[in-house]
Amino acid sequence: MLPYFCFNQIQDISSSPSILDSPIEYLKGVGPQRGELLRSELEISTFEDLLYHYPYRYFDRTQLSRIGHIDPGAEYIQVVGTLINIFEEGFGAKQRLTATLYDETGKIELIWFKGASWMKKALKENERYIIFGKVALFNGQYNIPHPEIEPLNSETAIAGMQPVYPTTEKLRARGITNRSFAKLTQVLFEKVKASDIPEILPANILQQYKLCNRAQAIRWVHFPDSEEHRSAAVHRLKWEELFASQLMIARVRQQHTIQRGLRFDTVGDHFNNFFKEHLPFELTGAQKRVLKEIRHDTATGKQMNRLLQGDVGSGKTIVAVMAMLLAMDNGYQACMMAPTEILAQQHYESVSKLLAKMQIPVALLTGSIKGKERKEILKGLADGTIPIAVGTHALIEDSVQFRNLGLAVIDEQHRFGVGQRARLWSKNETPPHVLVMTATPIPRTLAMTLYGDLDVSVIDELPPGRQEIKTVHRHESHRSRVMEFIKKEIHKGRQAYIVYPLIEESEKMDYESLMQGYEQVKIWFPEDKYRIAMVHGRQDAALKERNMQRFVSGEAQILVATTVIEVGVNVPNATVMLVESAERFGLSQLHQLRGRVGRGGEQSYCILLTGNKVSKESIQRMQIMVSTTDGFVIAEQDLAMRGPGDMYGTKQSGVLKFKLADIVMDVALLEQTRNAATQLLTLDPALSQPQHQALKHSLLEKSHQSHWSKIS
């Protein structure tokens, strides 16, 4: 099967060698050692890589300050003075270099913690220097750590708008400073002509969206001669980045609309019997709407690729089960893939329980299932006697063969790579329908970028009888009142979670903190009066399961746990979620934890307990949690606070590796480029027209560098 992104009708264009392909060490001022450093630290291997290493901010270098008149509000300053008292002290990691710069108004200390020996050799006492750097205040005195420093002579140019480039401590320690980047880029522009930087956008798009040409934009983004030119350059390059991503997504989506799929014509006994006889509760309007969308998709003869979003407890699993029964009614198998064994096990138990009275075989396949049991499952999937399988990524291993897989349900898609999703497609000659589920509400802008190739359904109603969870923020000083409140709820016959943070990097510390917390809980809730269970990652599976079951069955009134209970636990009688050290959790995680309560008909509560002194960001997170239970609002706020890479682990994946564009700040551009991409592919689906060849070639290169090349 051809790569989905491939523009089949056109062969790739081979480009003639370009000066931009030259290895970076061949640029004057780089050489082999610096070249290797640039390669390892910033992935700058060629002239082209340096050209596309854009600045992220600019400083006005025409302004000179007097040392005695430094503005207390200034972040960066530029001063001219004479250097004296160059002094190296300390050894090893504590080694540092200090020097004093003075002018007729005062003096300021310069400090280097990295590369001290190298800097000492480069500096000369009683010489005049121009200094640029970030001002710090220590013991009431100003200093400048790691300043940019250059001898002041007749050749020194005091620049205007100076670019500031992304760099690393290691590069700075080896003398490759921000000024070095600017100089190297200037040398590069002396070698590279405008004709060496090809325009990839067709003339009509440049004109329609008022974009400057590419060569001009790249020169201006490095060395703007005015704010107007800087702004025009950044706008053009952001537009190009977003347009390329939206074109690739639109192309995959376009392929889906023509991709032959299995046709589910029949709504038969399995679906109807379950709907009439075995539903544990009446479906909400949102669940019915989503099922109708799935039935429509699977009946068209095209492959379904649908994203199902729904908050914790909104009833996605039952929709997935009914979609699987629809596959069975049409003679096909179905599978559900989860990112972890714990989640796969919980899905398996939920699906098995829902289908138990209908006596439909359901198999669990994970990495830990071995030997005879595994062989029997593989045989049942291959001969079709097992119609439904639930598992981890073990389901996509080559040894797993289905007789006729018709539907693949993928839970928590952001935990899987696109390539893994694509491997499920190869499990049948005609690709199965795909239903992707997530309990992590995805902001619209992120969905357009991460999942733009999928149709989106949203379950935006909770099942009947559910009340909104009351959320409060309390400080450590209120602990006794919080514990008394939990006692009152337990005396009403309710149950409570007490959750402690777990951060892998400090697992030992967190374990000790959990054990101390457990002992504290036992002081508040003596074991002769209350029944407490504890669950954490270090317990063996059997003990963890036993303790969890004690809570699920109601035998234990309090479950003390780490975030292992974040997903999958359903205890309708639990009405209190106490989150200890809530300032250590992200918004998304707090929202997931809150979703563990409020599953019955009683009023439920989420208490966020923090230290008495917390950061501004933590206070902001607590305020957001208290003000709304809407997962989509929380996700938007989380995206704005943390950024997409931090939220979804996409920073290094190539999915959102934009150099300038920001999907939070550039929503209007994202919308504009999405419309432009759709229009272009409507007119020229294969980008076969002459004016689109450069664009097509650029996209093919990008698809080889990113996740899009894996879609097949």
Residues ≥6 apart with Cβ < 8 Å to 208: none
Q: Is the pLDDT of residue 647 over 50?
A: no
> Which of 26-30, 169-173, 567-571 shows the lowest mean pLDDT across its residues?
567-571
Banded pLDDT at 504 (limits 50, 70, 90): very low
**What per-residue confidence (pLDDT) applies to 164?**
82
Determine the average pLDDT of the residues in 258-278.
90
Q: Name the pLDDT band for 704 (thresholds 50, 70, 90).
A: low
Q: Does 91 or 286 have the greater pLDDT score?
A: 286
CA quadruple 274, 275, 278, 280: dihedral, nearest 10? 140
Q: How far apart are CA 27 and CA 22, in angstroms?
A: 8
Residue/partner pairs of 348-353 with CB below 8 Å, 24 or more apart? 348/390, 350/317, 350/570, 351/317, 351/321, 351/324, 351/388, 351/390
Q: DSSP letter for 65, please.
A: B
CB-CB contact of 458 with 309 (8 Å): yes
What span, in angstroms and rounded, lies between the C-alpha atoms of 28 and 52?
Answer: 18
What is the model's pLDDT at position 13? 41
SS3 for 248? Answer: helix
Range scoring the smallest mean pLDDT among 164-178, 530-544, 607-621:
164-178
Q: Let me know: does 412 contact 438? Beta carbons within 8 Å.
A: yes
Any idea what the Cα angle at residue 192 is, between residues 187 and 198, rounded to 5°?
Answer: 145
pLDDT value of residue 74: 74
CA–CA distance, 510 with 150 (Å, rounded to integer): 48
Q: What's the pLDDT at 414?
A: 55
| Alpha-carbon torsion, ordered 510, 516, 520, 523, to 10 deg | 150
Give the model's confidence band at 245: pLDDT under 50 very low, under 70 low, under 90 confident, else very high: confident
Residue 698: per-residue pLDDT: 86
User: What pLDDT score was predicted for residue 709?
Assistant: 39
Give the containing element (helix H, strand E) for 80.
Answer: strand 76-89
What's the rounded Cα separation, in Å, for the pair 61 and 78? 7
Coil, strand or helix at 432? coil
β-bridge partners, 455: 306
Query: Comparing C-alpha atoms, which of 97, 161, 156 is closest to residue 131?
Result: 156
Give the integer Cα–Cα distance in Å for 712 and 708.
9
Query: What is the percentage of the chain residues whose pLDDT exceeds 70?
Result: 87
243 vs 249: CA distance, rounded Å: 10
Indicate whether 7 pLDDT > 90: no
Question: Which has the higher per-residue pLDDT, 573 or 91?
Answer: 573
The predicted structure's pLDDT at residue 453: 66
pLDDT confidence of residue 569 = 65
What is the mean pLDDT of the segment spanning 142-156? 78
pLDDT-derived band at 651 (thresholds 50, 70, 90) equals: very low
Q: Are 78 and 160 in contact (CB under 8 A)?
A: no
Read off the pLDDT of each residue in 677-700 and give the average, rounded to a whole number.
90
Decide: 327 and 430 in contact? Cβ < 8 Å.
Answer: no
**Cα-flanking dihedrals φ and ψ of residue 145, to 5°?**
-75, 140
Q: Answer yes or no: is pLDDT of 2 > 60.
A: no
Confidence at residue 511, expressed as pLDDT on a 0 to 100 scale: 66
pLDDT for the residue 257: 65
Across 167-176, 385-394, 599-608, 618-627, least confident range: 167-176
Asked if the model's pLDDT at residue 650 lies above 70, the reply is no
Tokens of 286: 């949102």
For the chain, give the mean pLDDT.
84
- Reply yes or no on whether the pLDDT at 609 is more than 90: yes
pLDDT reading at 1 higher than 70? no
Q: With b meaning 16 or more CB within 10 Å and e meaning fewer, what string describes 211-226?
A: beebbbbbbbbbbbee
Q: What is the pLDDT of residue 179?
A: 77
Pairing of strands 574-579, 532-535: unpaired
Residue 96 CB contacts under 8 Å (≥ 6 apart), including other chains: 88, 89, 90, 111, 112, 113, 116
Average pLDDT for 236-260:
83
- Cα angle 345-349-351, degrees, rounded to a multiple of 5: 115
> Quick check: pTM over 0.75?
no
Q: Once rounded to an integer, what is the mean pLDDT over residues 304-329?
A: 90
Quote the pLDDT of residue 426: 75
Tokens at 8, concatenated: 């089949």
Nearest to 239 by CA among 661, 655, 657: 661
- Residue 8 pLDDT: 42
Which percentage of the chain shows pLDDT scores above 90?
Answer: 39
pLDDT of residue 419: 63
Whether pLDDT at 336 is above 90: yes
Choose between 406 and 700: higher pLDDT.
Answer: 406
pLDDT at residue 15 greater than cutoff 90? no
Identify residue 493 by its one-letter amino acid code: G
Q: Please, which pLDDT band fits residue 564 given cuts at 50, 70 and 90? A: low
Among the residue ranges 443-447, 668-672, 675-679, the one predicted with the least confidence is: 443-447
Q: State residue 259's pLDDT score.
A: 72
Torsion sign across C-alpha atoms 59, 60, 64, 70: negative
Give me the pLDDT at residue 576, please. Answer: 96
**Are 387 and 333 a contacting pair, CB within 8 Å?**
yes
In three-state form (DSSP H/G/I as H, E/B as E, the rest C), the secondary structure along 85-129 is EEEEECCHHHCEEEEEEEECCEEEEEEECCCHHHHHHHCCCCCEE
pLDDT for residue 298: 94
pLDDT of residue 287: 94
What six digits make up the tokens of 696?
Answer: 């097509």
Residue 291 has pLDDT above 80, yes or no: yes
Neighbour-count burial of 305, counting CB atoms closer than 10 A to its CB (0-12 exposed, 13-18 middle, 19+ buried): buried
Q: Using CB atoms within 10 Å of the CB of residue 480, give its burial: 0 to 12 exposed, 13 to 18 middle, 19+ buried.
A: exposed
Which structure tokens are listed for 241? 């980045």
Domains delineated in the chain: 63-158 (2.40.50.140), 269-459 (3.40.50.300), 470-628 (3.40.50.300)
Ramachandran class of 554: left when φ > 0, alpha when ψ lies in -120 to 50, beta otherwise: left
pLDDT reported for residue 478: 93
